[in-house]
Amino acid sequence: MSTTTILLLVFALVFGAALFGMFLRRILPEHHFSSDTKETIKVTMGFVATMSALILGLLVASAKDSYDKQASGVTEMAAKVLYLDRLLANFGPETNDVRTLYRQVVEQVAQRMWPHSKMGESVLDPTAVHAEQLLGEIEALQAKSDLQTALKSQATSVCLEVGELRWLEYEQATASASMPLICIMVFWTAVLFASFGMFAPRNGTVIAAVALAALSVAGAIFLILELRSPFVGVLQIPNTPFVDALEHLGK
């Protein structure tokens, strides 16, 4: 189910709960709306509102932190990709074939992480691109000086670090949001809006305000899900770092 579909579904449930509350007001006996009843419901719904606001804030903060970590990981990976190319370039002209292979591998990784088609699915699994050959080609280089030995050792280390970063991005991207927790959040919010509808006056202004509030709640859930899927959707991590790296590879 897409995040847009979930947004619309959450909005329908929350706003529908408010309308249901308005309907209950019409059919329930008048003694259900005494001052004591209103005060009791006000206190209990205040507790629900506090819990909902707290958990929703924590979910948004957690999702934003996860998104920032993955965005930072992409930037770090692109920097190491470029650094590895410079190490190979400084090794000598005998690395030209290795650098050509290296550029092809990087292009494949970038294309799989950010498909050209918006409908395409991002592939983060490192095994989808067999980059082990690159490490073998680097190890096969024959160092003829102390400088080349140092460059080869550093290039091997950076190549392994890039592979580690790719696996880290893959594992972080597969850690999706907790759907049971989000469902509980939606239930709490629906209960809260139903209480709003029971005691709110029935006029266009109130209905519009409740609809906007329901849309805001749905937008928060949408934001959480989008931030938890940073390589697809509206809030996709930009591929700018890799585009910049590709422009400098081989030079």
Q: What pLDDT shows up at residue 116?
A: 66
Query: What would the DSSP string read from start to end of 104-153?
Result: HHHHHHHHHHS-SSTTSPP---GGGS--HHHHHHHHT----SHHHHHHHH
Distance CA 70, CA 46 (A): 36
Per the prediction, the chain carries an average pLDDT of 86
Q: Give the pLDDT means over successive 10-residue stretches in the chain (251 positions).
A: 87 93 83 80 89 89 89 90 91 90 86 68 71 82 90 91 86 75 91 89 88 93 88 83 85 75
- Number of Cβ within a 10 Å radius of residue 13: 17
Closest by Cα among 97, 65, 103, 111 to 85: 103
Report yes or no on whether pTM surpasses 0.85: no
How does pLDDT run across 80-120, given as a tens digit for each residue?
A: 999 999 999 999 999 888 888 888 888 888 888 887 655 55
Q: What pLDDT shows up at residue 9?
A: 94
Task: Kindly list the distances between the CA atom of residue 128 and the CA atoms of 103, 142, 144, in Å, as whole numbers in the listed order.
Answer: 16, 29, 35
Tokens encoding 210: 């409740």
